[in-house]
Amino acid sequence: DRLEALSPDAAHVLLLAALVVGAYGAYPAGEVAEDVRERVEATGLARSDPSGRFVFRHPLVRSAVISRASEARRRQAHLALAARLPHDEPRRLVHEASAAAHPDEALAGRLERAGQRIAARGADAEGALLLDRAAMLSSDPADRARRMTWAAVTAARGGRLAHTGRLVEEVRRGPVPDDIAPLLAYAVVYVDQSHRIDFESSFTLLPGALDALAVPGADSFGGLAEQVFFKLLLAATYTDDARAWQALDKHLDDVSPLARLCHRAWSDPARTAQGAADELTLLSQGLNEEQEAGAAWLLLWTATAVDVADSGLWRRFTGQHAYATQGSVAKARYYQDFLLGRWDAADDCLQEAEASEELGYHCNALLFRHHYAHFLAGRGDEEGLKRIEALIGPAARRARMRFVTDHLDHLRALAALAHGRYEEAYSRIAELTPPGVLPAGLPWFHLPFFDFVDAAVHTGRREEAQRHLEAGRAARMAGISAHHAFLLAAAEALAAPDDEAEERYREACAVPGAERWVFETARLRLAHGAWLRRHRRAGARDVLLEARQVFSGLGAIPWEERCAAELRADGHQVGTRAEGREQLTGQETRIARLAATGLTNKDIGRQLQLSPRTVATHLYKIYPKLGITSRAALAQALREG
């Protein structure tokens, strides 16, 4: 009733304000005649704030203003708003597109160019909006399909996966020009991989796309071949499908040195990845900003293959391509968090999975839970591991994702090692990587390498352990990356004869960067301390105490208790977790100390680079461990130890 009572000029001003909100800021009330502004404010539906801009009483009021206006009035308002902005300003183009009643090729061309410019700067979601508008205004069906396909690809990179799916389906309903077939193939595969967790279209569409892009004089679509190659490599790594590997091998000469390095790092690393970590460092240093933006996924995936523990690498990609790149950054980060002993990140990893699910990136959600399973296995939490496996196992098996299902087999073996079930651990790992065999279909062969030798030695299979070590040496495993080198040296120490063991343990601990691999180094110290105790050598207590402290900080209770058992066997009085409250992890200790000084959750989060919600979750776990119920009691509880 109040809207209908407005005069035409007041209703027009209110409509202008409604169409501006959400597009850019708010409509400046100061430019409106005072009597008109007073009439608008008298309705109580909108007011001018102290900065002189119109603010609606409620978002639904804005919706009502727009929906009740006739189409002609809305077009008139959009044209008025467009006239206020520069000619090629994207916001002006959006208003002009909204005002258009018929196809307009000139305007469509301007929208397309603006969308591509914005997307090139990393604002993919905004670029996709302009490209979509350009498609709707196209007069030629081929141009419409071409622009809509570009919009689909750009929306996918911008984290609007559902939008991509709708655009792809719309393009496929009509005739698809031959020249955009590679681009459409990429868009289809993007949705299938990320949203549907289905890799079959990767093998049926992407090899043909690579063939088309390799034809001399073919449209490069702004370096699409690299992205198609990466998507196919991802599918090959996840499934080990021969069709994908054959197509990738065929087109190695058509892609960049970085893409070829990524292929080497994943295809058969025991035979092809020597020197990969060093080459990655050199290649990444030589990229300019524009090249780096296009190579983000290849860099991150190569770094994951060789366990490059360089947080600076993913910080370089902060803000790029919205969720598409940021999801890859997060996966790389949580994998490194596990390797580097930052196990307090486990809960954040699980929250990231839930966020991915909400965005429709179901494959990312599955992979985040897969990374979370690593933390559970390291802590020996077999019940938690079973729950995660029940959640992700069916989808991974349906998609033939050996990358995940094989990892789950290894993680079950790791959990069995935590509880001293060596026979079970050996049989599980030997199915993945038999004695002396480093399979091409297991690109992360180095991760169970140390575990295999550990289980073999504890079950009396020293010959099998030596065959595995010989395979590692023959593969020049130490030349792949620092982590590979450490795992080989640590396994050599475990299997060394008594007259060489002491020297081998020292050599393993002296491998450059060994201290970075926190969990595995603690396991090496546990084995070393146990060897020293059994052979009545000095220093066992100090080595075991150091390992126990690390396991305690990681929350790896079974491993901590094994250290305690060795210490008691060496004649030292050591309590167990069961005799007292559960200890705080390193992160919980830091949070508790900061909270005890009176800092808020927000202040603590800012210092530790955590969200206030994550801080609150940690505090929820800290209180029962300290036997308190409130923040006020923290300081006293910490003083009492």
pTM of the model: 0.79
Q: Is the dihedral of CA 590, 592, 594, 596 positive or negative?
A: negative
The alpha carbon dihedral of 570, 575, 576, 578 has a sign of positive
Q: What pLDDT, on the 0 to 100 scale, is given for residue 578?
A: 42
If DSSP codes are grouped into helix, strand and coil, which group holds residue 22? coil
pLDDT of res. 225: 92
DSSP 56: E
520, 521, 526, 531 alpha-carbon torsion, rounded to 10°:
110
Q: What is the CA radius of gyration of the chain?
A: 30
Tens digit of each residue's pLDDT (9 = 90 or more) over 89-130: 888 888 888 889 899 999 999 999 988 888 877 677 788 889
Q: Is the pLDDT of residue 318 over 70?
A: no
Q: What are phi and psi of 28, to 5 degrees?
A: -75, 110
For the four alpha carbons of 513, 516, 517 and 523, in that order, the dihedral sign comes to positive
Judge contact between 99 and 133, C-beta under 8 A: no
Query: How far lies 321's CA from each of 114, 171, 357, 402, in Å?
Result: 16, 23, 18, 28
pLDDT tens-digit readout, 190-230? 999 999 999 999 999 999 999 999 999 988 888 889 999 99
| β-sheet bridge partners, residue 56 | 46
| In the predicted structure, residue 13 carries a pLDDT above the cut 50 | yes
46: enclosing H helix or E strand? strand 46-48
Residue 188, pLDDT score: 93
State yes or no: pLDDT of 376 exceeds 90. yes
Q: What is the dihedral of CA 604, 606, 609, 611, to 10 degrees?
A: 70
Q: Is 54 helix (H, G, I), strand (E, B) or coil?
A: strand
- d(Cα 372, Cα 375) in Å, to the nearest integer? 5
Is the per-residue pLDDT at 326 higher than 50? yes
pLDDT digits (tens, 9 = 90+) for 236-261: 999 999 999 999 999 999 999 999 99
Helices 362-378 and 346-359 cross at an angle (nearest 10°) of 160
